[in-house]
Structure 1
Amino acid sequence: MRILVLTSRRIESRQSGYDLRVANLCAHLPAEAHLVAIPLEEETDGPVGIAVDPLFASVEVITAFPPGRERARRYLRASNDHYMRLSRPARFAAARDRLREIVAEKEITHVVVFGVALAELAVTLEGVTTVLDVCDSGALTAERALSGSAHPSHGLQLWKDRLALRRKRVTEGRLPDRFDVVVTISDPDTRAIERLHGSSGVVRTIPNGVDDAFLTPLAEPGTRHGVVFWGNLGFAPNRDALWFFLNEVWEPHLRDAGVELCVVGPNAPSWLAGLAAHEPLIVLTGYVEDLRSAVAPYPVMINPMRTGSGLKNKVLEAFGMGLVVVSTRMGVEAIPEVRDGESLMTAEGPGAFADAIRTVLKDPELADELRAGAHALVEEHYRWEAVGRRWADLFTTAPRAGCAGR
């Protein structure tokens, strides 16, 4: 067995959830692997924290497919199945031909592609078993954004968003027929693709794991009278979650009680930066190298997610570090082992969310029980070693090459 891994960007940044998932799953591939990165956006300099050379027998970067001038008719296409081929025919052909050469030169038997964006290139490769890691269902994310966002789109943008959702539904519904194995990061994402495909049991779930840095023995809980949130603030569901928390939970229910909010992560929106500049109870740190040290003073991590899909890594990290998690049910839907009142607190409406925070802050015995339950859960189910075994098993049980329709 020899495996070719296709990615839509260079794998190098610890700030990227995509990069971390690729690197950790590829560390558990059961055979010699070769990486080909095909950047789909113009690359910019950024922090580098992942070394992929030890994971692969070879690494190659193929000419990028940068965005071009948009034409109105692109919004009318029925699916994303052939977007690259139609929009960049010469570059698509060159990338396809080079991938075919690599398959022949390296005697590749399996191709793993991370993300739907490169699916149309992967399905052109013949005589190999193809594995697609969708990660989050784009259709499920788009559905929730249209129905649940605090800042819904209007007019022309709403029309574009609805057309994009239609294309994602069509494209994802065809994936199980085009690939030998399709994988998502969570059961809700798996069910979303199976619903679009019309069959159950055809998609596998492989969650993320937790880095060992977050799995040290339980430390003493933080003592500040406050809560913490972390993540990439350029990610729309994270921005929406913070808007909901600040405007509907914190301001009317927690501000007068002196509950602090610490927000950790890059790309803060201007409205949040402006609020933090004038509100002493709100701390905005930006990106930090040492997340553990930044969040340790706080006993509670909030996860007020109302849109998006996939698995929230921040919840697993909080479990490992010993912070009590207060979350919406959507925020932990991808972690089936969690139990309300045993490993975390869940709440939906603004008042209930605030009540859950107040309860945990004033009841240290309950907080200790939740911390212990959550830490045991992540130790048992979400170490990368355990996740990696499930990932590796895919390659020994995958159908033979050519079983999927192309």
Structure 2
Amino acid sequence: MKILILSTWFPYPLDQGSRIRAYHLIRALAGEHELALISFEDQPIQKDWLEKLQKITSWIKILPEKPFHYTRWRTFLGLFSIKPAAVVAGYNRKMEKLVLKSAREWHPDAVLAFTFVTAPYALKIPHVIRVVDMDNLLTLMLYEEISFARGYIQKLRRKLSYLKFKHYENNIYKPFDKCMVVSELDKGRVQTYTHIAQDQILIVPNGVDCETHRPAGTIKKPRQLIYNGALTYQPNYDAMQYFLEQVFPLVLSEIPDVHLLITGSTKGVNLGKLAINEQVTITGYVDDIRPIISESQLCVVPLRQGAGTRLKILEAMGLGTAVISTSKGAEGLELTHGNEIWVADSATLFAKGIIKLLNNLTLTASLVEKANHTITTKYDWKIIEHNFATAMKSLQSELTVSLK
């Protein structure tokens, strides 16, 4: 097939979950299909990033604009629109024209859209197989954020955003032939607030590259914790705000020399609201995070918000670092507390879990060993790519006749 791929972010470098997922799913199709990519330019694209995608696509077109364009006028219009503010800010007439012109000239057989931002453009292309990757389920994320709202006005705004997104996602995804989610859990959730049929939903898990993420025999730095997540993403910021205020002081009272590294972009983030002390280091963006994860004794994932599955957990496990997480952080992954991962949901239990794992190296080693087995047998991107390519081939067989 000729598959036109529409991406909200340029799928390289592999420095955050959405890019990683998009890149591997694109790569999965490169062997048997002719691919073309149209993407927003969410950041300046370096030559070597472009070359990575040129190797697996026939052509690439970049719209030199960011995927979201917030203005006072658009924000004002969003107040009176049934569409969510992010959808209003994400609509781009230039992108629509570029997609439709490219489709008329290239005649794709299928279109693969990444996230709600590019989904509307895919629906305007006639007589093609349509697949959308739902990735982070924003309706669910917004619903969870209501409970974290402070004050009546903020709670009302978040509830309104949730209701708008629920209506929008229910309608925008229905015309797609397949809607991809990352887990059985998310599949069930999607069906609770949309009219998408069960056989319309395709589970494509997140994964980890087991060739580049493997235990390196690195000597662990005693009592070093790591949280690998950009603070520009609200669930990550909330996780660290909660951890530093409620969990870390309890750990410090028992292990005074424990140290926390927080990696990832902090651009535009108000770090002053975080309870940072001399035992906390914020590294900012790191080109290659693997050595830091490998040398850390424990990866902490105190997430309270968000949807989908966390690549940070899979990457840490692939690199041989034990993980302690909340249930929210580990949801959707086939991992068991005390087997591959340590799960704790209250601040007290999370702190006790960290102390236990830092002091019990036998337990930590057991978690690492079992986690590595699960990663290599269930969450290796090679396995996921193969299964996704097979699913797309089956979809082609099912739908090609009906489209003619």
Same fold (TM > 0.5): yes
**In the TM superposition, what are the counterparts of 1:6-405 in structure 2 within 5 Å?**
6-29=6-29, 30-38=32-40, 43-45=42-44, 50=49, 51-62=52-63, 64=65, 66-68=69-71, 69-79=73-83, 92=93, 95-147=95-147, 149=148, 152-198=149-195, 199-212=197-210, 214-217=212-215, 219=217, 222-258=220-256, 259-267=258-266, 269-271=269-271, 275-276=275-276, 279-336=277-334, 338-398=335-395, 399-400=398-399
Aligned residue pairs total 391
Q: 1:195 Cα shift?
A: 1.1
CA separation in 2, counterparts of 1:296 and 1:10? Answer: 27
| Partner SS, residue 222 of structure 2 | coil
Counterpart CA distance in 1 for 2:374 and 2:47 is 31
Task: After TM superposition, give the deviation of residue 99 of structure 1 in Å.
Answer: 2.9
Q: Distance in 2 between matches of 1:143 and 1:194?
A: 15
Alpha carbons of 1:267 and 1:34: their partners in 2 closer, same or farther (altered >3 Å)? same
Kept in 1, the 8 Å contact 2:213–2:290? The answer is no
Verify the 8 A CA contact 2:215 2:294 in the aligned structure 1. no
Q: Given the two structures, how large is their TM-score scaled by the length of structure 2?
A: 0.87
User: Per the alignment, do residues 204 and 81 of structure 1 end up closer, same or farther by CA in structure 2, a change over 3 Å counting?
Assistant: farther
| Closer/same/farther in 2, CA of residues 98 and 241 from structure 1, 3 Å limit | closer
1:81–1:260: structure 2 CA closer, same or farther, 3 Å change rule?
Answer: closer
Q: Give aligned-pair identity as a percent.
A: 20
Q: Secondary structure at the match of 1:400?
A: helix
Indicate how the Cα distance of structure 1 residues 95 and 223 shifts in structure 2: closer, same or farther if over 3 A, else same: closer
Residue 237 of structure 2 aligns to which amino acid in structure 1? Answer: R
Task: Give, in whole Å, the separation in 2 of the partners of 1:168 and 1:295.
Answer: 36
TM-score in terms of structure 1 length: 0.87
Distance in 2 (alpha carbons) for counterparts of 1:83 and 1:274: 30
Q: Deviation at 1:275?
A: 4.6
Q: Provide the aligned C-alpha RMSD in A.
A: 2.8
Q: Is the 8 A contact 1:76 1:163 kept in 2?
A: no
Quickly say closer, same or farther: Cα 1:319–1:116, change in 2 above 3 A. Answer: same
User: Which structure has the higher relative contact order (CA within 8 Å, separation 6+)?
Assistant: 1
